[in-house]
Amino acid sequence: MMMNPVLASAAYAPAPGPPPGVFGNVPGYENMAGGGFLPPPLPLQPLAPVGPPPNQQEWSIPCISEEVAREAFKDYASSNCCYSNSPAEDGVITSLEPHNTYRYRLETFTESRSTDWAHKPHKGEAADFYTQPAPQPWQVQVTPPEMFTNHTQELPVPYTSTIKDCHTCKASGTTQCDPCNGVGSKECYVCHGTGKTETGDCGRCNAGRESCSSCNGQGTEDCETCEGRRQLMTFIQLKVEWTNHLEDFLAQQGGSLTAKELSSVTGKELFKGAQNLVYPLLGFPDPAIAQASERMVQEHQAQYLQTSRILQQRQTVELIPVAKVGYKWKGDAHCYYVAGNELHVTADYPDTCCCVIL
């Protein structure tokens, strides 16, 4: 269905209400204008997985070496001006424990639609109401953005536009100037309306008043709603929202890092699959991932199919390398964690100071 190019490219605002006698006359929109989400088309059925998951032996990452662990710790210490280099330089590594972590991620990319009345100044365009039947909201053709990216688009529904008098200015094209309250002049800011200064008569104004610069002394301004054109083009506005709903689940192998601490690191991608509706990862070597996948897939499909259309789902599994490094410094035992391909360090650093910048 083709759009009216003039309407499609114009900026417009929500209208205070439908034109009298028009709202109920747009077939299919009797109860749709008002900002509510519209029921989506019937959903697709999820597809079963094409094949079994890869062998568990392939899904392993060796623990980092002492040299890599020490260099990561040195970089961590040197990046903070309040940390002494001594623990990282002189500490003796006593243990290296792998605590690799599976991260399961489910993304559900949805499209939702809602309608409301909107308007823009009428600039001579012909109204198209009743020239053809208006398409239903989910029949209006739009171009979706790149998959799994958030985006919002607003556009007029074809064949719903009408022309009406401006409700703000009552079709006069002008409204009272607010700065001068419609008088056309304001109190002089130099003499504060007295017409006098310490040196004599005020040289800026006439008897304490000066012409209002906002309205050039007219007392009225062009109506902002219709831009002085007296009439508005009103139409049903369709709002299309594409949203990527992302949820993570961590299955840690004895580690103590939080999801927030691991949110900025990456690992080895073990599995990635996208379909209109995905099927849970049944038979995954880690039962916690299999259970989380089944639960999250069911919850996403049950929740988002109620108010939107699921365009695509994507699920991935990463194995994030995590090493717990034990070390001794000045006779005391300490530890830190090195995580991800980025070798991100998390530590309770034992030798800090307070920096004061003058």
What average pLDDT values come out for the chain (358 residues) when binned by 10 residues? 38 56 65 64 60 50 88 92 89 91 95 90 91 90 95 94 93 92 84 78 79 88 94 93 96 78 90 90 86 94 89 93 93 94 92 58
Q: What is the pLDDT of residue 261?
A: 86
* Measured distance CA(264)–CA(99) in Å, rounded: 17
Task: Give strand pairing partners of 242.
Answer: 111, 151
Q: What is the pLDDT of residue 122?
A: 96
Which value, in Å, is the radius of gyration of the alpha carbons in the chain? 33
Q: What is the pLDDT of residue 2?
A: 38
Q: What is the pLDDT of residue 305?
A: 86
Q: How far is CA 224 from CA 166, 172, 322, in A?
A: 10, 12, 60
Domain boundaries, the chain: 56-106+242-347
Whether 327 and 342 have beta carbons less than 8 Å apart is answered as: no
